[in-house]
Amino acid sequence: MSNEKTTSNSGKRTQDKSSAPYSDPQLAAGGELHQIAGGEHPILTTNQGVALADNQNSLRANPHGPTLLEDFILREKITHFDHERIPERIVHARATGVHGFFELTASLQQYTTARILTEVGEKTPVFTRISTVAGGAGSVDTPRDVRGFAVKFYTKEGNWDLVGNNVPVFFIQDAIKFPDLIHAVKMEPDRGFPQSATAHDTFWDYISLTPESMHMVMWIMSDRTLPRSLRMIEGFGVHSFRLINDAGKSTFVKFHWRPKLGLQSTIWDETVKICGADQDYHRRDMFDAIAAGNFPEWEFAVQLFTQEEADKFPFDHLDATKLIPEELVPLKVIGRMVLDRWPNNFFAETEQVAYCPGNIVPGIDFSNDPLLQGRLFSYIDTQLSRLGSPNFHQLPINAPKCPFGNQQRDGHMQMEQTAGRVAYEPNSLSDTSPRESPATGFHSATIPETGEKGRIRAESFADHYSQARQFYLSQTGYEQAHIASALVFELSKVEHLHVREAMVGHLRHIEENLAKRVAAGLALDKLPDAPAAAAPVKEMKPSPALQIIGKMKDTLAGRAIGILIADGSDGAVIEKIKKAAIDAGATVKIVAPKVGGAKRADGSMLAAEGQLAGTPSVLFDAVAVILSDEGAKELSLECAAIDFVRDAFGHLKAIAVDKGGQTLLKAANVGRDAGIVDSNNTGAFIAAAKTRQWEREKSVRTLA
């Protein structure tokens, strides 16, 4: 494969036909990805004025090798980025954290010595933090965004931090590009907006120049980034790690979390309205579930494979923009996680918890994934900045629950009072000071490394479109339409035409019809040319495991039903629906025009958990409308009631109605379909409430 080089700072790219290693997928497209405005540009340098020849690749021992500590360019760039915000996290600032436990159900003893993965039945305390990426701590819960999924295991052998996302891939292949990615997605520095949103020029400009991001683009434009609840998302370790057994043999592993409640997402219009109705929607949902004893639970699964098996994959597993399809390497469920206790103090725990991917235990080790390699340095550096002390591990939320001790002393906010004259190792003056333990201590995998060091990427990292295409083709037709519509919405917010055109060009490599749908939605006069690909696009078998709709569970567990009432509503019907929903596992809220509730038909008072104006239907998975004739007449003149049923219909939810409810539907100009059921037929309502009425969508909105 030819290697591309930048010959000037004008943004123009020329081909070098030498046989040098593949060095830069961003520049390997064979010509301009899109014309960068302006003439000659200043030379990019370090803070010391050293000109950079390569700002895309960190320094590695060889194309597949580990990142080298001597890479002063990477360290300077990441260090500066890590210290940009004090004290809020630069990314993952908005979060919900919960205590719980992990229980191993199947041993991996043949693969690892890590006791947490070998002692079946053992329960290990955990603290799990689920977060948005782009917004600040004061942003909302429900933007279109990746969710961080970080778990701190307080094991018998020390803390293990599995720090991942609810998406199994990432935007970039090399950690040196992370500051640029986040600078692009964050609010634009000259205007301070938009907050927690990708629908703006700087993000899509960067993405249009970074073909390696195209797989991740499919994920973020899918419904995966619009979760219904934090209890209904998957979690992924993203990178390949290694397990090491007692013979020193290593096996590659990828980690997965699968929610017991199954996957469920919202619809974009619904998401926007939830944001206005309850900015703390996800956090409140988690709090309420735990308070009610409905503890969220996830299966813990692994994909295990050898180097020999990895060599046969049609992609490189060390590339964080790639996943391993379940059909290729099946998941093995080995445990479960239950979250059962809310923090006593949000700041002390959720805010001060410090996760570091470098926190592992004996029997687990790292791979040479260049994104992971950079994270091993970056996380501890950013925690030093954010928490202000190298002693942040002494904070209760961060401290191991097993014995620990070393010769590290003093420092800002030192809370331990160590005694004695010895603060070094080895020593002969103390019989009680900690010593290294060759027999039981941590051992790295013994992996030979050969080759020439350089700022290079392996040839196997060059394919940027095949898995993006596989993901898109694996979705149901409804989900494909949502991806296309999301792209139209996002790119419609981009002011620069050449950026919109460049993105549509990339989509042509993913799926031609997708590109046409987005181009039509953007009213482009013609379909833009696709950039030359650095590697041929492979045809990979669709993977149904990548869907959401196809994986939704036939259950109401964890879902919420809203019942709209007014004075004169039939109490018996209300109680019948409420009982059926609760028996099916749902929670039920009564919504009335006034917070005090409403009088039943028999004159008795029925309390309400929500007042109509502040409890719209977007907060529920399905609704029932039980009204007297007089109540229906009054609510037909109330816009909040009209919106309640109109939005429920537009968001494809099941609606149970009695005669008065039908009157309100008519006033809202809501038609009838299979998802509108008679309130007396509770069985049909419960069945319909377990899913969305997908066939309805074509009648209520225009999708790309």
pLDDT tens-digit map of 508-522: 999 999 999 999 999
Q: What is the pLDDT of residue 7?
A: 33
Structure confidence by residue, pLDDT tens digits, 598-630: 999 999 999 999 999 999 999 999 999 999 999
pLDDT at 19 over 80: no
The residue-averaged pLDDT of 649-669 equals 98
Q: Is the pLDDT of residue 35 over 60?
A: no
User: Kind and range of the H or E element at 335?
Assistant: strand 332-341
> Residues of CATH 3.40.50.880 domain(s) within the chain?
555-700
The radius of gyration of the chain from alpha carbons, rounded to an integer in Å, stands at 27
Confidence of residue 407 (pLDDT cuts 50, 70, 90): confident
Look up tokens 């329960």; give the residue.
123
Predicted confidence (pLDDT) per residue in 63-121, tens digit: 999 999 889 888 888 887 887 765 788 899 899 999 999 999 999 999 999 999 999 99
Predicted confidence (pLDDT) at residue 332 exceeds the cutoff of 90: yes
Q: Across the chain, which distance is largest between two alpha carbons, in Å?
A: 90
List pLDDT tens digits, range 288-321.
999 999 999 999 999 999 999 999 999 999 999 9
- Tell me the three-class secondary structure of 225-256, residue by residue: HCECCHHHCCEECCCCEEEECCCCCEEEEEEE
pLDDT of residue 330: 98
Collapsing DSSP to helix, strand or coil, 292 comes out as coil
426 prior amide bond cis, ω within 30? yes
C-alpha to C-alpha distance for 270 and 301, rounded to whole angstroms = 32
Q: With 90 as the cut, is the pLDDT of residue 495 above it?
A: yes
Average pLDDT over residues 396-408: 89
Determine which of 5-19, 44-58, 570-584, 662-676 has the lowest per-residue pLDDT on average.
5-19
Angle between helices 497-510 and 477-492 (to 10 degrees): 160
Query: Could you tell me which residues come within 8 angstroms of residue 188 by beta carbon, excluding any fewer than 6 positions away?
Result: 194, 200, 201, 202
- Among residues 533, 687, 640, 578, which one has the least CA distance to residue 273? 640
Average pLDDT score over the chain: 92
- Percent of the chain at pLDDT > 70 equals 94
Map residue 215 onto helix, strand or coil. Answer: helix
Task: Tell me what pLDDT residue 86 has.
Answer: 53
pLDDT at site 483:
98
- Check residues 30 and 645 and name the one with the higher pLDDT: 645
Exposure b/e, 612-631, CB count within 10 A at least 16 = b: bbebbbbbbbbbbbbbbeeb
Cβ atoms of 170 and 319 within 8 Å: the answer is no
What is the full DSSP assignment across 418-443? --SS--SSS-SS-SSS----TTTS--
Q: Which residues of 210-228 are buried (b: 16+ CB within 10 A; e: fewer)?
A: bbbbbbbbbbbbbbbbbbb
Going by DSSP bridges, is the β-strand pair 158-165/147-155 parallel, antiparallel, or unpaired? antiparallel
pLDDT tens digits for 115-152? 999 999 999 999 999 999 999 999 999 999 999 999 99
pLDDT at 277 over 90: yes
At residue 435, the pLDDT reads 84
Q: Is the four-CA dihedral 119, 122, 124, 130 of positive or negative sign?
A: positive
Question: How many degrees, rounded to 5, is the angle at CA 49 between CA 47 and CA 53?
Answer: 100
pLDDT value of position 89: 86
Work out the percent of the chain whose per-residue pLDDT is above 90. 80
Work out the average pLDDT over 9-16.
Answer: 33
Does 90-175+226-394 carry CATH code 2.40.180.10? yes
| CATH value of 555-700 in 3.40.50.880, 3.30.1520.10, 3.40.50.300, 3.30.479.30 | 3.40.50.880
Beta partners for 155? 158
pLDDT at residue 85, rounded to an integer: 65
Checking if the pLDDT of 12 tops 50, the result is no
Q: Catalytic residue numbers? A: 92, 165
**In this predicted structure, what is the pLDDT of residue 38?**
52
CA proximity to 36, closest of 72, 10, 13: 10
**Closest to 220 measured CA to CA, from 1, 565, 519, 503:** 503
Please tell me the predicted confidence (pLDDT) of residue 17. 33
Positions of CATH 2.40.180.10 in the chain: 90-175+226-394
For the entire predicted model, the pTM comes to: 0.90
**pLDDT value, residue 27:** 39
Per-residue burial over 175-189, b = 16 or more CB atoms within 10 Å of its CB, e = otherwise: bbbbbbbbbbbbbee
**pLDDT greater at residue 519 or residue 417:** 519
Give residue 409's pLDDT. 86
How is residue 56 annotated by DSSP?
S
Say if residues 451 and 62 touch (Cβ distance below 8 Å): yes
Average pLDDT of span 219-226: 98
